[in-house]
Amino acid sequence: MKVLISDRMDPRSADYLASHGIEPVVKVGLPSGELKPLLADIEGWIVRSGTTITDELMEAAPRLRVIGRAGVGVDNIDVGAATRRGIVVINAPDGNTLSTAEHTCAMLMAVARTVPQAHGSMISGAWDRKSYTGTELFGKTLGIVGVGKVGQAVAERMAAFGVRLLGFDPVVTKEVVERLGIELVSLDELVERSDIITVHTPLTDLTRNLFDDKLFARCRKGVMIVNCARGGIIDEVALVRALDAGIVSGAALDVYSQEPPSDELRALLRHDRIVQTPHIAASTHEAQQKVADQVTEQVVSALRGEPVATPVNAAAIKMASRPEMQPFMELTEALGRFVAQVAGVRAISRVKVRISGDVPHKAVQVLSVAALKGILSELTDETVNLVNAVLLADQAGLRVDEEVAGSAADYQNLVEVLLDTADGPHRVAGTVFGGQEIRIVRIDDFWVEVKPEGWILFYRNEDRPGMLAAVGSLLAASGINIGTAALGRAEARREALTIMRVDEALSSAQLDQIGRLEGVRDVRQLRVGG
């Protein structure tokens, strides 16, 4: 039995394979053409991010049964092709949690005590004690945006400094974090009360440029900001403006909207109150050893026919693979993604999935998993799939209900996804036409019809003549083409909902311009599907 290791790994990986009677084939850095001759008799394959495993390469490996990714992301693996071929794909999502948390704490301390600036001053030959007076952490309030694994690990460590802990997370409930002494609050309350803010969210359409001029304006004057999560969550240009205005007293960044930063971005990041590292939060010897250990142990378990802890593909859910279920699975995941974006970064306490009409009653359980996959993919930093979605929801303390109703009124079939959030309930519903075509047909109280695909402009407006033309004129002036438009209203001459599928993303400035139109509110840009 052979396992190919085609990216640089800790030597422990090959040693572990050999100790279990498996021959490690270590060939690092080869192009795909040179990998092919090695694939004929391998049964396992371990990679990091350097090797791209395509369907073509899998076809050249007829005995391949398991692929292990030493890390979280599996973008370099064609998971769909692996699932079709019955190949288990596993990852190692937990190996770098502590390293990232510790680096966050180090960056937080560095910015609070101006350690890099003082160090640089000493190197230049100066002895300047007055310019580098720091800030004591004891008694300060630390706001943690994203209270997942890394956020919780940061909280545990920073509690020893005597800080008060605030947390914001749209899917984690207070029962989950109260053991850590974290007070769960809204995002607005967190930024208004925090002396220090650290970010641990995924980068999604909901969190891109989350910290912009508007959010910085709500922050307590003199706040410190740390981002060791994902570049793009903080608008770097807005951050520099907040530093210059005295709103932010110091910032520490390990991640950037462009990596490596462009020359323009480097100029911004030369600010004397920004501490920077080159995306190294997860880069420790221990983290590399942990991911090597975790993925290799699971590869061995899979080859022995034993259960694995972190499967990425959903071969375990047989019902989801049935051809007649595929459109409903696609629809329900899209509904989950859509309603999560409609709700925005608001705390969710309950998810409910209701099916009615011509939908197999037994399907409600697997469709609720598909809905969770869509919702959590928008709101968490985990790799979410049909295998782990329920576990992640349970860990977050999220209540999940399922309901089978009777007929679907005007539709042959109907799937609804409902959220209870801190700001009230949200609902989306969809249907499958002709066994294949999926459509969203309801958003909150408005009946519409829209294909959940691509960029979608979503806003509420006064129900009066000229509103659609006013928005259309702004889009035309910006060169934005409208693919389709759908309008819904609950009552004439009151409030309407307008949804437009557009050919490209709108900028923040273009969205703000639409939001300034008289009678228009709640302007959002969503992305679902292709």
CB atoms within 10 A of CB 245: 12
Assess whether the previous peptide bond of 307 is cis (omega < 30° from 0): no
Query: Which CATH code fits 97-276?
Result: 3.40.50.720
How far apart are the C-alpha atoms of 394 and 400, rounded to whole Å? 9
> Is 259 considered catalytic here?
yes
Closest by CA position to 115, among listed 125, 106, 127, 104: 106
In 122-273, DSSP assigns E strands to 141-145, 164-168, 182-184, 196-199, 223-227, 248-253
519 Rama class: left (phi>0) / alpha (psi -120 to 50) / beta? left
d(CA 296, CA 44): 10
CB 408 within 8 A of CB 356: yes
Buried b / exposed e along 166-204 (16+ C-beta atoms within 10 A): bbbbbbbbeebbeebebbbbbbeebbebbbbbbbbbbbb
Q: Domain 316-444, CATH 3.30.930.10 — does that match?
A: no
Distance of CA 196 to the CA centre of its chain: 23
How is residue 461 written in tokens? 């407006």
CA distance 414 to 363: 12
Per-residue pLDDT of the chain (530 residues; tens, 9 = 90+): 999 999 999 899 999 999 999 999 999 989 988 999 999 999 999 998 789 999 999 999 999 999 999 987 787 899 878 877 778 899 888 788 899 999 999 999 999 999 999 999 999 999 999 888 999 999 999 999 999 989 999 999 999 999 999 999 988 888 888 889 999 999 999 999 999 999 999 888 889 999 999 999 999 999 999 999 999 999 999 999 999 999 999 999 999 998 888 888 877 888 989 999 999 998 898 988 999 999 999 999 989 878 787 888 754 444 555 677 788 989 999 999 999 988 887 788 899 999 998 887 778 888 998 999 999 988 887 767 776 788 788 888 888 999 888 777 788 889 999 999 988 899 999 999 887 899 999 998 888 888 888 899 989 999 889 999 999 999 999 999 999 888 888 777 788 999 999 999 999 889 999 999 999 988 989 888 75
DSSP state at residue 311 = B
Please indicate whether residue 183 is annotated as part of the active site.
no
Nearest-10 crossing angle of helices 326-343, 363-379: 40
- Helix or strand or coil: residue 102? helix
Strand ranges of the sheet holding 520-528, from the earlier edge strand across to the other edge: 482-489, 495-502, 454-462, 520-528
Sequence-distant (≥ 6) Cβ neighbours of residue 193 within 8 angstroms:
141, 143, 166, 185, 220
> Quick one: angle between helices 508-515 and 467-477, nearest 10?
150
In the chain, where the domains are located: 2-94+286-303, 97-276, 316-444, 453-530
Answer yes or no: 518 catalytic: no
pLDDT for 81: 83
pLDDT of residue 315: 45
Find the catalytic residue in 85, 113, 279, 460: 279
What is the predicted pLDDT for the residue at 124? Answer: 93
Tokens of 131: 């310019």
Is it true that 2-94+286-303 and 97-276 share their CATH fold? yes
The answer to whether 61 and 41 have CB atoms below 8 angstroms apart is no
Check 34, 259, 264, 324 and give the catalytic one.
259
- Tell me the C-alpha distance between 495 and 147, whole Å: 36
Q: Does domain 2-94+286-303 have CATH number 3.40.640.10?
A: no
CATH code of domain 453-530: 3.30.70.260
Of the residues 230, 337, 426, 442, which is catalytic? 230
How far from each other are the two terminal CA atoms of the chain, in whole angstroms?
Answer: 40
